[in-house]
Copies of this chain bind each other. A is one copy, B any other.
Amino acid sequence: MSVEDRLAAMGLALPAPPAPVGNYRAGVIRGKVGSLSGQLPIRDGNPVVTGVLGRELTVEQGREAARLAGLNVLAQLKHLLEDFAALDGLIRVDGFVASMPDFLQHAAVLDGASDLFAAVLAERGAHTRSAVGVASLPLGMPVELVVTFATR
């Protein structure tokens, strides 16, 4: 079953890959190492959810934001590679969560993305992860995912 078929079976489709908001590229591949710019819970150029975990957002809302950012990761990979067949696999996902100092459930939030990658990319979705709570993210969004991957 293709990545697109797995997404469809989950009731999901790839969004348009968000354009960079500055003088950088959405994705770069040199050698067999690829990198994506930080992906946010944005759709059609607008933030879908803004706010800070531990203040106005619940863990469940953070998890949904991470899933949306994860969908954008998949959209960028497809756009850059043209076909998911060219993906050897994810390597590293750095997850930044806009957090109040007393917020401690970063892992539960970021599983919104990790669960998606496991469901649609299977073994190629296996990745390491860092989870860091930060003061603020671009446009006030709650989650940013920074992904490194390997190409075939």
Residues of chain A having any CB pair with chain B under 8 Å? 20-28, 30-33, 35-38, 52, 88-94, 96, 99-104, 106-108, 110-111, 114-115, 118, 126-140, 144, 146, 148-150
Choose among B28, B37, B104, B138 the residue that contacts A104 (Cβ–Cβ < 8 A).
B138
Check if A28 sits within 8 Å of B128, measured CB to CB: yes
Check if A134 sits within 8 Å of B137, measured CB to CB: no
Check if A31 sits within 8 Å of B107, measured CB to CB: no
Query: What's the least CB distance linking A57 to chain B, in Å?
Result: 13
Check if B88 sits within 8 Å of A130, measured CB to CB: no
Chain B CB within 10 Å — which of A91, A100, A115, A150 has the most?
Answer: A91
Query: What's the least CB distance linking A112 to chain B, in Å?
Result: 10
